[in-house]
Every structure is written in structure tokens, then in C-alpha cells.
């Protein structure tokens, strides 16, 4: 899962990037409204954490511009404490959730996980596909109740497929959502991760949609 963090305070921005990376996300950061708006307008993200008080363009304007352009990724805004009008403005501008500063990092991570799940149509913290269960809180995967050992990239690929089960997911989608921008984005590596996942999972679960990508087919 790929998140965009737009926060101008250098200390908080650093903490956010570190915590989200540790939690297994691919992180892109912007430190002002103009850069943040640009990234969110042209790149694909599974969620955005958007500070409202930003240099160059404020967060509400950034969010309004994204929504006006049809960008529908879930956005959580960070508001100043006790500034209830910011929450109202933010929700009116298209925010999906908000958190007032100062906040506990655990709560932010939990809220972002919930936003990503809800955007994918899953209300529960666990997503299952036949005998495979992904716990989105811990990032653990089990098969028939037994814990599976996956590398971080295998987990990212499987997690993206689980959040979009039944849908065709293109290689480009997978590359966008599992690699950081500066990483060598070789689409052949996706095939390698898919091949490894097929060995660890029931092989018929991940179908190849020829020329289009992959589809997770769940026996119900």
C-alpha cells in the first residue's frame, strides 16, 4: 500500500515517514501544499495524510483541487487542536477522516488502515480469500489457520491483491503500489513475486489475466 504524507513540520514529517515505513507502507512525502497537490494529482495512492496548515497552498485548497479533478483516494486531514471549523471545512472539502494534533501515531495508523479497507469495501480488519486470511492490523497472513512467512514485497503484492480481490490488477498498478518512486521499477520483478506467492498459496488463487494483469479468485 502506498501513502502520501503532506506535512511541513520537519520533525513530525520525519516521524510519520518512519512509522509508516515500519508499518510496511511505501511512503512518498511532500513538505508544502504545491508539491503535495502535484504528487496526489498525478500519482496513485491508497491513502493520503494531509496537514491543513501548509506553506504555498493550504491543505483545504489542495484537497478541493484533488476532488474537483476527480481524485478519489481516501484522505485523512491533520487539524489543529480545538479548531472544529477546520474539521467541518475539511469534511466539506472531501476529507474522509480527521485527527487533531497532537495525536498518537498508533491511532493515525489505525485510522489509515481503516480508510484503506473501507475504500476497498472491507469493513472488518481481516480480509479473507478462501483459506487465506490477511490481518490488516498486524500484516500477518495465514493459510488454513497456519501462519505464512512472506517477504515484505510478497506481502505488499498479496495485500494489494486481497484489497482488490476479484478485480483485475495490472502490473503497473502493482508497481505503483509496492515500490517507492526512486526504486528500480522493473515489471519482471512483479512476476517473480507472483510466482513465489503461487508456491506459498493454493496455486489456483492468483489467476493471470493475459495481457492485463492478475486477479485474485476466492472460492466462497
The footprint of Ca ion on this chain (CB under 5 A) covers a number of residues equal to 3
Q: Could you give the CA distance from residue 85 to residue 173 in angstroms, rounded to a whole number?
A: 37
**Closest CB to Ca ion among 17 and 143?**
17
Region from 1-9, 39-47, 175-183, 203-211 binding Ca ion, contact rule CB under 5 A: 1-9
In terms of DSSP bridges, do strands 97-100 and 75-79 run parallel, antiparallel, or are they unpaired? parallel
Query: Is 86 among the residues that bind Ca ion (CB under 5 A)?
Result: no
Q: Could you give the CA distance from residue 210 to residue 85 in angstroms, rounded to a whole number?
A: 50
Q: Hey, which residues between 33 and 52 contact Ca ion (CB under 5 A)?
A: 51
Place of cell 508539491: 35
Q: Is 127 helix (H, G, I), strand (E, B) or coil?
A: strand
Region from 3-11, 59-67, 105-113, 174-182 binding Ca ion, contact rule CB under 5 A: 3-11
Q: Is 211 helix (H, G, I), strand (E, B) or coil?
A: coil
State which H helix or E strand residue 164 sits in. none
Are residues 69 and 41 in contact, defined by beta-carbon separation less than 8 angstroms?
A: yes
| Nearest distance from C-beta of residue 81 to Ca ion, angstroms | 13
**Closest CB to Ca ion among 56 and 170?**
56
| Nearest distance from C-beta of residue 64 to Ca ion, angstroms | 18
Query: Is 202 among the residues that bind Ca ion (CB under 5 A)?
Result: no
State which H helix or E strand residue 145 sits in. none
Place of cell 490481518: 135
Query: Is 56 among the residues that bind Ca ion (CB under 5 A)?
Result: no
**Closest CB to Ca ion among 9 and 126?**
9
Q: Is 54 helix (H, G, I), strand (E, B) or coil?
A: coil
| Nearest distance from C-beta of residue 146 to Ca ion, angstroms | 45
Query: Is 8 among the residues that bind Ca ion (CB under 5 A)?
Result: yes
Query: Is 13 among the residues that bind Ca ion (CB under 5 A)?
Result: no
- Which residues bind to Ca ion, rule: CB under 5 A? 8, 51, 53
Amino acid at each position: 500500500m502506498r501513502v502520501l504524507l503532506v506535512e511541513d513540520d520537519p520533525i513530525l514529517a520525519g516521524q510519520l515517514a518512519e512509522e509508516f515505513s515500519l508499518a510496511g507502507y511505501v511512503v512518498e512525502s511532500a513538505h508544502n501544499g504545491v508539491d503535495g497537490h502535484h504528487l496526489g494529482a498525478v500519482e496513485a495512492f491508497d491513502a493520503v495524510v494531509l496537514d491543513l496548515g501548509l506553506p504555498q497552498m493550504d491543505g483545504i485548497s489542495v484537497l478541493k483541487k484533488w476532488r474537483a479533478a476527480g481524485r478519489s483516494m481516501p484522505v485523512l486531514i491533520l487539524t489543529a487542536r480545538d479548531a472544529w471549523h477546520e474539521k467541518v471545512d475539511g469534511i466539506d472539502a472531501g476529507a474522509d477522516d480527521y485527527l487533531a494534533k497532537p495525536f498518537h501515531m498508533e491511532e493515525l495508523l489505525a485510522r489509515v488502515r481503516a480508510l484503506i479497507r473501507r475504500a476497498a469495501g472491507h469493513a472488518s480488519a481481516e480480509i479473507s480469500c478462501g483459506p487465506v486470511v490477511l490481518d490488516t492490523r498486524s500484516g500477518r497472513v495465514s493459510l488454513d489457520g497456519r501462519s505464512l512467512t512472506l517477504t515484505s514485497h510478497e506481502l505488499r503484492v498479496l495485500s494489494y491483491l486481497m484489497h482488490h480481490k476479484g478485480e483485475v490488477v495490472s502490473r503497473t498498478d502493482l508497481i505503483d503500489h509496492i515500490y517507492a518512486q526512486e526504486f528500480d521499477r522493473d515489471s519482471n520483478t512483479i512476476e517473480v513475486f507472483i510466482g513465489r506467492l503461487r508456491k506459498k498459496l493454493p496455486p489456483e488463487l492468483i489467476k493471470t489475466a493475459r495481457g492485463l494483469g492478475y486477479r485474485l479468485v476466492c472460492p466462497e
